[in-house]
Chain A
């Protein structure tokens, strides 16, 4: 029984003043197993973010269905966490209060909140910044706050939309390691959207290659990595082979997408 499935999901944005109808997703079929790490790569504008919106229940599919834990998804179901591409930290709250937000919202007792938040802060390496405000932190740290805020609610499915997009390469590799650590600790199912091939190859159990708009999966490539992995695998031979295989698949689509841009 899969954890999340998308069956024949399409998403059409209706025509608006001066703009034609936009087919963001052409039938998408996807099944994610519980605890799987799945990465999505694709050319820009192919509908990756729309896919995430539909999966999270932020957006309803125009046709087809999204099923999470055997329930049809209508609105955002409990047990899902999302880390967005843009900074979603709340500027009016300290790092501590940001992370505590969801727990307090659920009415958790303050003692329990403090304990959970402390754990999340330590896990994400934010200890010295607990009382700081997001404006005083770097972009990478703010993303960590968002991840911690998601983590602390113990979601069973975590969706990440190019979370490390704004960071430099070294920081991204390290953040990738942290994401893997998080994945192993929580046992959550993870869907990561990224434009960085090496990131997708390194982190995921399977990599889905999306076509240019309207987006659909051209190929789903299993990586075969062991669960205990980290960024050192980037120097292995199989990593190089996998990455070039993905790029071969992706290259044509990227050119097509560029032409349409």
Chain B
């Protein structure tokens, strides 16, 4: 049997096990509700449209964080690649960036920007942008020098060379940065919503928790898990198709 079929069986088996344990009361319902009940609750919520504004709000913030991180990250990465001295000085920052608890800045951002959506988008952006910069740098480093010469022979200026030769060549690495930007934006925005916010999926989960509403809470948790896993799997599949063009036959 192939690895992926075993994997599917494994996951299905674990879900089934959870279902049995919940239904028989081994796991009490005020702790965890059965997966089937989670799915049912989620279906009801989506159908009723009760949380649609929250879902839209969260997804919009995530999308903005991703877009901003990609634009700023690719631009900064490209600029830094041409400035080795700056890159050397910033190197310790690159190395320790993800060790720092970014959420610690959340209160500060709220104080500066107020309680709207901006602090959450900012956290998502801050978490995502460094991954884009690092991977863009990595990709640009690997552009074969002969392609840079070819760009000059075609008389491309620095901006045209970056946009039409260097970045397209580095695209697989930029895509890796994109995948990370997506993951980090979700983590940042939803995490921030948990800590404190007035709307969004994270907020609704937190609210449901505080009001002992396990049905809603687990439904929304399931929603996020399914959403993130689906998005990641789609990106992975897309990446494979793009890379297939470049693989030696």
Q: How far is the CA of A133 from the CA of B245 in the complex (A)?
A: 6
Residues of A within 8 A of B50 (CB): none
A92 near B154 (CB under 8 angstroms)? no
Of B164, B165, B245, B247, most buried by chain A (CB within 10 Å of CB) is B245
Task: Determine how close the nearest CB of chain A comes to the CB of B170; give it in whole angstroms.
Answer: 10
| Contacts known (A86-B146, A90-B168); A105 close to B246, Cβ less than 8 A | no
Residues of A within 8 A of B164 (CB): 101, 105
Q: How far is the CA of A60 from the CA of B169 in the complex (A)?
A: 27
Residues of A within 8 A of B169 (CB): 90-92
A87 near B146 (CB under 8 angstroms)? yes
B156 within 8 A of A: yes
A135 near B146 (CB under 8 angstroms)? no
Task: Determine how close the nearest CB of chain B comes to the CB of A69; give it in whole angstroms.
Answer: 15
Residues of B within 8 A of A84 (CB): 146, 149-150
**A69-123: which have CB < 8 Å to B?**
75-76, 78, 80-82, 84-88, 90-93, 101-102, 105
A90 near B247 (CB under 8 angstroms)? no
B153 within 8 A of A: yes
Q: How far is the CA of A87 from the CA of B150 in the complex (A)?
A: 10
Of A85, A88, A93, A101, most buried by chain B (CB within 10 Å of CB) is A88
Q: How far is the CA of A58 from the CA of B245 in the complex (A)?
A: 30
A135 near B245 (CB under 8 angstroms)? yes
Task: Determine how close the nearest CB of chain B comes to the CB of A190; give it in whole angstroms.
Answer: 15
B156 near A133 (CB under 8 angstroms)? no
A56 within 8 A of B: yes
**A18-75: which have CB < 8 Å to B?**
56, 58, 75
A105 near B149 (CB under 8 angstroms)? no
B154 near A105 (CB under 8 angstroms)? yes
Residues of B within 8 A of A93 (CB): 168
Which of A80, A85, A133 is within 8 Å of B153, CB to CB? Answer: A80
A136 within 8 A of B: yes
B155 near A92 (CB under 8 angstroms)? no
Residues of A within 8 A of B247 (CB): 135
A91 near B246 (CB under 8 angstroms)? yes
**B229-249: which have CB < 8 Å to A?**
245-249
Which of A88, A92, A133, A136 is within 8 Å of B150, CB to CB? Answer: A88
A82 near B153 (CB under 8 angstroms)? yes
Q: How far is the CA of A75 from the CA of B156 in the complex (A)?
A: 11
B12 within 8 A of A: no
B156 near A105 (CB under 8 angstroms)? yes
Closest to A57 in B: B152
B168 near A78 (CB under 8 angstroms)? no
Q: How far is the CA of A135 from the CA of B153 in the complex (A)?
A: 22
Task: Determine how close the nearest CB of chain B comes to the CB of A116; give it in whole angstroms.
Answer: 15
Residues of B within 8 A of A135 (CB): 245-249
B153 near A76 (CB under 8 angstroms)? yes
Residues of B within 8 A of A82 (CB): 149-150, 153
Of A85, A87, A90, most buried by chain B (CB within 10 Å of CB) is A90
Q: How far is the CA of A76 from the CA of B144 in the complex (A)?
A: 19
**B137-192: which have CB < 8 Å to A?**
144, 146-147, 149-150, 152-156, 160, 164-165, 168-169, 171
| Contacts known (A58-B152, A90-B168, A92-B168); A133 close to B146, Cβ less than 8 A | no
Closest to A134 in B: B246
Task: Determine how close the nearest CB of chain A comes to the CB of B158; give it in whole angstroms.
Answer: 12
Q: How far is the CA of A76 from the CA of B148 in the complex (A)?
A: 13
Task: Determine how close the nearest CB of chain B comes to the CB of A134; give it in whole angstroms.
Answer: 8
Task: Determine how close the nearest CB of chain A comes to the CB of B207; give it in whole angstroms.
Answer: 47
Residues of B within 8 A of A91 (CB): 169, 245-246
**A169-198: which have CB < 8 Å to B?**
none
B153 near A58 (CB under 8 angstroms)? yes
Given A88-B146, A101-B164, 10 further pairs, Cβ under 8 A: A58-B149, A76-B152, A86-B144, A88-B147, A90-B165, A92-B171, A101-B154, A105-B160, A105-B164, A135-B246
Return 9 A-B CB contacts under 8 Å, by A number: A56-B153, A76-B153, A80-B153, A84-B146, A86-B146, A91-B245, A93-B168, A105-B156, A135-B247
